[in-house]
Amino acid sequence: MTERTGERLAVAVDAFLAHARHGRGLSEQTVRAYANDLEQLVAFATARGVDRLSDLGLELLRDWLWDADHRGLARSTIARRSSSVRAFTRWASESGWIASDPGVRLRAPKGASHLPRVVSSDQVRTMLDGLAARAATDDPGALRDLAVVELLYAAGIRVSELVGIDVRDLDRGRLTVRVLGKGGKERVVPFGVPARDALEAWLDRGRPALLASAQAGDGRAAGDGRAVGDGRAVGDGRAVGDGRAVGDGRAVGDGRAVGDGRAVGDAARNAAPAADALFIGDRGGRLGVRGAYRIVARLLQDLPGEGPSGPHTFRHTAATHLLDGGADLRAVQELLGHASLGTTQIYTHVSSARLREVYRTAHPRA
């Protein structure tokens, strides 16, 4: 391919973002992160008289990261910026836009390592017992909340995967659910009998009641990040005139907010009508990420322990409890849908930390 060394840097960035979104099928959240970082790079380079892609060199990239560090940006932010620009320059080199890759030797500090929050088995049991007591009253919201938490913990799925599940993705006989993970990768995940019982109660009694209640209103879904009758989403995923979601920064192409930070093209099933959704919000629309966060945050806020109080806590907890119970690391990797085993290995650190804590507490010579 002929080098396009005369192209402006901003033009090349736009082409890279289009490739990331459509060519590689990356999530909208990842593309936005690339866009934000590279927009900062273009502004920095322009202020220093660099307007052409061919003039983008290693020293300027290093100056850009040094400036970020000088302004007090977090190490994790600087590391992310380094990753973004290296992805961009690698693409530009491989696509023939430039002769060589100036970012190949770029280095940045690693982000601080934080162990994920994990809830104990006893705490999970107490939490689920409380939810089950509420669900026993056949309150539709309580039935849904129990099914949400049971599935998050039983399957260890991401919240974006949870809200994208349709009823047809659930196999109650085989105790499996089909989910769409990062990069549009589909996998089938098992779950247990308690989760099945909670899901059946939700599908048989809770979901129909919630849909009937919503249909008795004005028929428009709101507050859960899904679209209303005129194609505009309201609540936490509101769309403006050009169909881009605002409020939570998630965009889709046709004015429908999917609630998991991915464009409709990356997760087509999330664009299905709310009638197909496994989990729906209080007003009848597909349950969005923020709705799921609210459900979980209410449960975790009063529990001891530091760290996030979102749905990912149950993913971390499920992985850690599996490893504590003797599960193979590669099996846990498959369950979680991690592309790299290295990502899964953080949970061995969590288990080791728990072991040391038990040792210090219980051993007389600790």
* Among 298, 322, 340, residue at a domain's last position: 298
Query: Is 114 noted as a catalytic residue in this protein?
Result: no
Query: Is 185 noted as a catalytic residue in this protein?
Result: no
Give me the catalytic one of 80, 81, 158, 238: 158
Q: Is residue 106 part of a domain?
A: no
In 10 A of CB 89, how many CB atoms? 24
Query: Is 359 noted as a catalytic residue in this protein?
Result: no
User: Does residue 227 share a domain with residue 166?
Assistant: yes
pLDDT exceeds cutoff 50 at 222:
no
* Among 76, 94, 112, residue at a domain's last position: 94
Residue 237 near residue 226, CB atoms below 8 Å = yes
Tell me the pTM.
0.59
Tell me the per-residue pLDDT of 22-67, one tens digit each, with 9 for 90 and over. 888 787 888 999 999 999 999 999 999 999 898 999 999 999 998 8
Residue 108 near residue 249, CB atoms below 8 Å = no
The C-alpha torsion from 201 through 205 and 210 to 213, rounded to 10°, is -170
Query: Is 312 noted as a catalytic residue in this protein?
Result: yes
Q: Is residue 248 part of a domain?
A: yes
Q: Is residue 153 part of a domain?
A: yes
Tell me the per-residue pLDDT of 178-194, one tens digit each, with 9 for 90 and over. 998 877 788 999 999 99
Query: Is 110 noted as a catalytic residue in this protein?
Result: no
User: Does residue 219 share a domain with residue 165?
Assistant: yes
User: Does residue 139 share a domain with residue 283?
Assistant: yes
User: Does residue 62 share a domain with residue 26?
Assistant: yes
What's the domain count of the chain? 3
In angstroms, how far is CA 59 from the centroid of its own chain?
34
Domain that holds residue 349: 310-362
pLDDT at residue number 194: 95
User: Does residue 252 share a domain with residue 137?
Assistant: yes
Give me the catalytic one of 182, 256, 262, 269: 182
Query: Is 293 noted as a catalytic residue in this protein?
Result: no
User: Does residue 254 share a domain with residue 159?
Assistant: yes
* Main-chain dihedrals φ then ψ at residue 277, nearest 5 degrees: -70, 140
Q: What does pLDDT average to over the chain? A: 78
Instruction: Dig out the tokens for 53 from the structure.
Output: 């892609």
Distance in angstroms (rounded) separating the CA atoms of residues 254 and 360: 56
Give me the catalytic one of 283, 290, 315, 316: 315
